[in-house]
Amino acid sequence: MPDPDYTALAARIRALTEGERDTVALMATLACEIHHSDARFDWTGFYRVVAPELLKIGPYQGGHGCLVIPFARGVCGAAARTRQTQLVPDVDAFPGHIACASSTRSELVIPVIDGAGRLLGVLDIDSDQPDAFTDADARALEAILAEVFAHAG
């Protein structure tokens, strides 16, 4: 399956979120739009920074996710801790992976940073397919997140 049309996805998200500053409203809208843009995306959602070194589940699409993830654990924790996108082709090979869903085979987690440089959380996309994500997916979604959350808060 070809990558989603990220240009069209970005335009849809831009139209839906124009003028919105509420972080949860933005996360809910993006989770829905991103999740339904590609069949590879089995679980799509946000984990929000709620305390020092602690993520808690935010808006998502798909089955239940983990409720709380410390920065010290898993792929989401690594993305939050390092502020670096984590592209994991095989979750079983990732040290300390947290299996929120047994069907997850690969994962893409992108830090969500506002215009002031504050870490708001992470976007977590899981796939039930191994090696489902590409650098092109990561770069396109990083650009969408940067645009949408630049004025959040």
Helix (H) or strand (E) run with residue 106 in it: strand 106-113
Which pLDDT does position 1 carry in this prediction? 47
Q: Is 145 helix (H, G, I), strand (E, B) or coil?
A: helix
| Pair of tokens at residue 102 | 């047994």
Which pLDDT does position 102 carry in this prediction? 76
Rounded CA separation 150/2 (Å): 29
In contact, 30 and 10? CB cutoff 8 Å: no
Which pLDDT does position 4 carry in this prediction? 81
Question: CATH no. for residue 106?
Answer: 3.30.450.40
Full residue range of the structural domain in which residue 84 is found: 6-149
**pLDDT by residue (tens digit) across 100-136?**
777 888 999 999 999 999 999 999 999 999 999 999 9
Which pLDDT does position 2 carry in this prediction? 55
Q: For residue 125, is it within any domain? A: yes
Q: For residue 132, is it within any domain? A: yes
Which pLDDT does position 3 carry in this prediction? 65
How many structural domains compose the chain?
A: 1
Q: For residue 1, is it within any domain? A: no
Residues of the chain with pLDDT under 50: 1
